[in-house]
Chain A
Amino acid sequence: EAQVTQNPRYLITVTGKKLTVTCSQNMNHEYMSWYRQDPGLGLRQIYYSMNVEVTDKGDVPEGYKVSRKEKRNFPLILESPSPNQTSLYFCASRSQSGNTEAFFGQGTRLTVV
Chain B
Amino acid sequence: GEDVEQSLFLSVREGDSSVINCTYTDSSSTYLYWYKQEPGAGLQLLTYIFSNMDMKQDQRLTVLLNKKDKHLSLRIADTQTGDSAIYFCAEKSGGYNKLIFGAGTRLAVHP
A residues with a Cβ closer than 8 A to B are 4, 31, 33, 35, 40-45, 48, 50, 56, 58-59, 90, 92, 99-102, 104-107
Contact = CB atoms under 8 A, between A and B. Distances in A.
A104 B92 contact: no
A45 B41 contact: no
A100 B42 contact: no
Contacts of A106: 40-42
A40 B41 contact: no
Interface of B: 4, 8, 30-31, 33, 40-45, 48, 88, 90, 92, 97-99, 101-104
A41 B102 CA distance: 7
B4 A42 contact: yes
B98 A48 contact: yes
17 contacts: A4-B42, A31-B97, A40-B8, A42-B4, A42-B101, A42-B103, A43-B43, A48-B98, A50-B97, A58-B98, A90-B43, A92-B43, A99-B92, A100-B33, A100-B99, A101-B99, A106-B41
A104 B43 contact: yes
Nearest to A4: B42
Contact of A43 (B8, B44, B88): B88
Contact of A107 (B41, B90, B99, B104): B41
Contacts, number: 55
B28 to A, nearest CB: 15
Contacts of A48: 97-98
Given A100-B92, A104-B42, 5 more contacts: A35-B101, A41-B103, A45-B98, A106-B40, A106-B42
A105 B41 CA distance: 8
A33 B99 CA distance: 10
Contacts of A59: 98
A42 to B, nearest CB: 4
A62 B99 CA distance: 19
A73 B35 CA distance: 24
B43 A33 contact: no
A44 B92 contact: no
A105 B104 CA distance: 18
